[in-house]
Amino acid sequence: MTITPDDARALDRDDPLKDARRHFDLPDGLIYLDGNSLGPPPVQAKAAIQRCVETEWATDLIASWNSADWMGLPLRTGARIARLIGVSENSVIAADSVSVNIFKLAAGLLNAGLKGVAVERGDFPTDGYVLEGLSRLSGTPFAYVEPGAGAAGLPDGVQVLVKSAVHFRSAALADIEAEERAAKTRGAAIVWDLSHAAGLVDLKLAARGAKYAVGCGYKFLNGGPGAPAFVYCDPDLADGFSQPLSGWMGHARPFDFADGYDPAPGVARFGAGTPAILSMTALHGALEAYEGVDMAAAEAKARALGDLFLKAVDGLGFGLACPGPGEARAGHVSLTHEDGYAIVQAMIARGVIGDFRSPDILRFGFSPLYLSYEEVLRAAGILREIMDAESWRDPRFAARKAVT
């Protein structure tokens, strides 16, 4: 079926999220399809940073830990994230990075008596790298399970699985509820990596039985490069959780400066070092763009945008490394081509920003907050022009850069 510009404009007129675009000040003429790697700055994030630098830091100085509640910022930011992932607002804290937070949860579960750590082969690399290091440090077994096997594929003696809710290459959605049931039957625990899901998928973590999760703040949450990550821990379990990175910001009374560690109640114990206030402020401000957004509508629009793109580029000779149109898929699509890197660079030169993932994946993300159906159709048309003219063969597009 041919999709026309009039079709796209009709979809935009009926889009329940069309007003969310006002939160983003994107460059004219640019079509940004890389929010799955780095979201653009919402106007609220830019305003929050300006206020933090010019008023809080520059004027109130150290008093801002109290007057601007810098001390409470990690939990206030976590509360905004909590609604988006479907958990209680007192069960999330923004802190550190995904890698550090995976270590906190996985090592804490080992402290609680579980044995062995695992990831699915081909999942996001940092998850496996952290668990390999934890295995060397603790002496616990480390294992790979086969792609898609999940908790049911855990070998004997391995009880902690770190698994992505959305796969970074394929955008395939995990069945969180089914995986949690499988983990329970094996006496295992799952740490969910929400990096490619938070802010896009209607996760409903608590309703689906998830107990532990981490996620990053700089993809669909739009918190800026290197934005703080977050930790979720079921509030019924948090008070008994032994968090191994027992830094002073996880202490019950950090300004007592007492010898000996007394963990803070609940999820606050997952704090460690002093929070990075400037980047945390940006993330906290960025999350205002989600006020009033229904996450089911956000997920549905992202999938519809991806479907439109896939249908519009059908027949150009690409392989498909993601679920196809009409299938369950998160917020990005993945095409394959042996010259994928050069093709992505040619698109960037034409004002369509996507990214490349080795060995041959062209990846395009579809944020439901700032992208229109008409823009996505136009991006597909530019890709078609590039392929028809073979303009990607220009040698300048083959030169690999540090970040792909």
Query: What is the per-residue pLDDT across 48-82, written as a single tens digit (0 to 9) for each?
Result: 999 999 999 999 999 999 999 999 999 999 999 99
Of 96, 193, 307, 355, which is the active-site residue?
193
- The partner residues of 364 in beta bridges, in order of sequence, read 333
pLDDT over 70 percentage in the chain: 100
Give phi and psi for 121, each to the nearest 5.
Answer: -60, 130
> Does 270 participate in catalysis according to the annotation?
no
> Does 12 participate in catalysis according to the annotation?
no
Q: Which of 26, 25, 45 is nearest to 225 (CA)?
A: 45
Give the CATH architecture of domain 47-290: 3-Layer(aba) Sandwich (3.40)
pLDDT over 90 percentage in the chain: 97
Query: What is the per-residue pLDDT across 187-213, written as a single tens digit (0 to 9) for each?
Result: 999 999 999 999 999 999 999 999 999
Q: What is the pLDDT of residue 400?
A: 87
**DSSP letter assigned to residue 59:** I
CATH fold match for the domains 5-32+294-398 and 47-290: no
Task: Work out the burial of residue 19: count CB atoms within 10 Å of its CB; fewer than 13 is exposed, 13-18 middle, 19 or more buried.
Answer: exposed
Would you say 132 and 108 are in contact if contact means Cβ atoms under 8 Å apart? Answer: no
Would you say 129 and 158 are in contact if contact means Cβ atoms under 8 Å apart? Answer: no
Of 163, 169, 219, 303, which is the active-site residue?
219
Q: Which of 315, 306, 388 is nearest to 1 (CA)?
A: 315
Q: What is the pLDDT of residue 399?
A: 85
- Mean local confidence (pLDDT), 338-342: 96
Please, what is the average pLDDT of the chain?
Answer: 96
Q: Is residue 404's pLDDT more than 80? A: no
Q: Which of 382, 379, 373 is nearest to 6 (CA)?
A: 373
Query: What is the per-residue pLDDT across 113-128, written as a single tens digit (0 to 9) for each?
Result: 999 999 999 999 999 9
DSSP string, 37-54: T-PPPBHHHHHHHHHIII
Q: What is the pLDDT of residue 27?
A: 93
Task: Locate 313 and state its tokens.
Answer: 């580029």
Give the CA distances from residue 353 to residues 166, 366, 369, 375, in Å, rounded to whole numbers and listed in that order: 21, 11, 16, 12
Residue ranges covered by each domain of the chain: 5-32+294-398, 47-290
Query: What is the per-residue pLDDT across 208-231, written as a single tens digit (0 to 9) for each?
Result: 999 999 999 999 999 999 999 999
- Indicate the residue type of 49: I
Of 218, 270, 309, 397, which is the active-site residue?
218
Terminal Cα distance for the chain, rounded: 33
**DSSP letter assigned to residue 367:** -
> Does 307 participate in catalysis according to the annotation?
no
Q: What is the pLDDT of residue 34?
A: 96
**The CATH number fitting domain 5-32+294-398, selected from 3.40.50.720, 3.40.50.1000, 3.90.1150.10, 3.40.50.300:** 3.90.1150.10
| pTM as predicted | 0.95
- Mean local confidence (pLDDT), 87-112: 97
Q: Is residue 1's pLDDT more than 70? A: no
> Does 104 participate in catalysis according to the annotation?
no
Of 363, 364, 370, 373, which is the active-site residue?
363
- Placement of tokens 């940092």 in the chain: 126
Query: What is the per-residue pLDDT across 154-163, written as a single tens digit (0 to 9) for each?
Result: 999 999 999 9
Of 103, 124, 232, 270, which is the active-site residue?
124
- Mean local confidence (pLDDT), 325-346: 96
> Does 51 participate in catalysis according to the annotation?
no
Q: How many CB atoms lie within 10 A of CB 259?
A: 5
Q: Is residue 96's pLDDT more than 80? A: yes
